[in-house]
Structure 1
Amino acid sequence: MEKYGIHLLALSHVYLVPLLKQKCTKGLAQRLTIENVVDVLQLGRLCDAPDLYLKCMNLAYKNFKAVESTEGWKFLQKHDPLLELQILQFIDEAESRKKRTRRHREEQSLYLQLSEAMECLEHICTEGCTSVGPYDMEAGKQKGPCNKFSTCRGIQLLIQHFATCKKRVNGGCMRCKRMWQLLKLHSSICEQPDVCKVPLCRQFKLKAHQERRGHDSRWKLLVRKVVSARAMSSLSMPKRKREEEPREAIDSHGIRSFRL
């Protein structure tokens, strides 16, 4: 196979010896190097050996800078520009797939983070956590750190800022806008707004119902993605137990009170 593998593959293809062709294809694939990959690639195309052809393409893609400096590549540029174009197209498509996969992973990570933020927001508003809890919880009665405290702590800080910020009335505070968006996102996901203890949940739900025709398609997509991420996350961890509480009053600013 070391000496005559290429010749045997060509002969097995021409004389229709499938078992020999299969063995040659497997043997050559195991002996691919940067120096011979272009030659074997040409042979794989001519002999209709798709597995060998694809393996050569992948090797050329992963080591393209090194392959470019080989004699086989220089010969290819002069005598087989069509194959050169096919290799470059394969590399371009592989890079595009890689970018799409990376972008998809980043998006999924964001949706999972938002899902966790929703869980922490509900947890804080229902049960309380360290420094922030629902308005009807006595001071000092909040629970200790939860198992998602790194996220929960960030939400608590955001709530504390939101409750005291003077700029949010005029919409001039980015942190308050983030909190506002989290509350709106929660309302879009919540299925029990009448008993929910998260601030403004029912109000956002009613407003969305009244302005149904003005719904942003991108916002709908975000809501679906976060719901999907939450469903996937719930498969790997037990759901937090929630007790139904009667809906409490809204303060004069339309914001539910917290115990800080």
Structure 2
Amino acid sequence: MERYGIHLLALSHVYMVTQLKQRCSKGVVQRLTTENVVDVLQLARLCDAPDVCLRSMRLIHSQFKTVEQTEGWKFIREHDPFLELDILQFIDDAESRKKRRRRHRKEQDLYMQLSEAMECIEHICTQGCTLVGPSNVVDNNKKSMTAEKSEPCKAFSTCYGLQLLIRHFAVCKRRNNDKGCLRCKRMLQLFRLHSLICDQPDSCRVPLCRYVPTCFVRNFTFEINQKV
């Protein structure tokens, strides 16, 4: 198979020996190299061997700079421009799919971050956490609330960052300036996102939940792609 695999593939195709053709296809694929991949691809197209074609295309895509220097590639550039175009189209499609997958992963990561942030905001404003708790806690419950807040939550890194933002938002004097405060804008974006998805605005303890949609939309642009 190592020496005559390509020849047997051609003969098995001509004489329609299906089992031999399948074995030859597997053997040829296992012995693909950057030097012979273009020749194998040409033969596979003639012999109607889609598996060999696909594996050859993938190898050319992954090692294109090396394949580009081979005699086989130089030959098809001069004598088979249609095959060259098919290969380049395959590479372009593969790169486009890779970019789409990468973009989709980024979008999923952003969605997960925002989802976790929304859960943390509700957790901070209803149960309290290490630094920030509900604003309507009375003094006689202060001790128990402090004990409850002393234990870090499961999403501590996200929760801690949000607590710092909330504390800054509460005391920042630049929030209402013309230029505004970037950290306050970021916090307000999260408040607005919460208000858009909250299904109990009347009883919700998250600050500004009932007022963000009407009072702050005209003052701040919601940029969903900005990092939390």
Length-normalised TM-score, structure 2: 0.87
Residue 12 (structure 1) aligns with: 12
Partners of 1:26 and 1:131 in 2: how far apart? 63
User: Which consecutive residues of structure 2, in runs of 5 or more, have no partner in the other structure?
Assistant: none
User: Displacement, 1:26?
Assistant: 1.1
Q: 1:174 aligns with which of 182, 187, 191?
A: 182
Secondary structure, aligned partner of 1:125: helix
1:165 and 2:172 are equivalent in the alignment: yes
My pick for the range that moved more, 163-172 or 80-89, is 163-172
Structure 1 segments (4+ residues) deviating >6 Å: none
* Deviation of 1:204 (Å): 3.6
What's the offset of the Cα at 1:202? Answer: 2.2
Distance in 1 of aligned mates of 2:59 and 2:172 = 57
1:67 aligns with 2:64: no
1:94 aligned partner:
94
In structure 2, C-alpha distance between the alignment counterparts of 1:2 and 1:26, rounded to whole Å = 11
Task: Give me the identity figure in percent.
Answer: 68
2:205 maps to amino acid: K
Within-5 A mapping of 1:5-44? 5-44=5-44
Shift of 1:191: 1.4
**AA aligned opposite 2:83:** L
Separation in 1 of the partners of 2:164 and 2:3?
70
Return the offset for 1:120.
0.7
Matched, 1:116 2:116: yes
Deviates more, 1:136-145 or 1:54-63: 136-145
**Greater RCO structure (CA 8 Å; 6+ sep):** 1
The number of aligned residues is 211
* Residue type at the aligned position of 1:153: Y
Task: Tell me, in whole angstroms, the C-alpha distance in 1 between the residues paired with 2:192 and 2:209.
Answer: 7
1:10-55 Cα offsets, whole Å, 9 max, x none, are 1111222111111111111111111111111111111111111000
Provide the TM-score with structure 1 as the length reference.
0.76
Aligned 1:124-203 pairs, distance under 5 A: 124-137=124-137, 138=139, 141-142=145-146, 143-144=149-150, 145-170=152-177, 172-203=180-211
What is the root-mean-square deviation of aligned Cα atoms in Å? 1.9
Q: CA deviation at 1:197?
A: 0.7
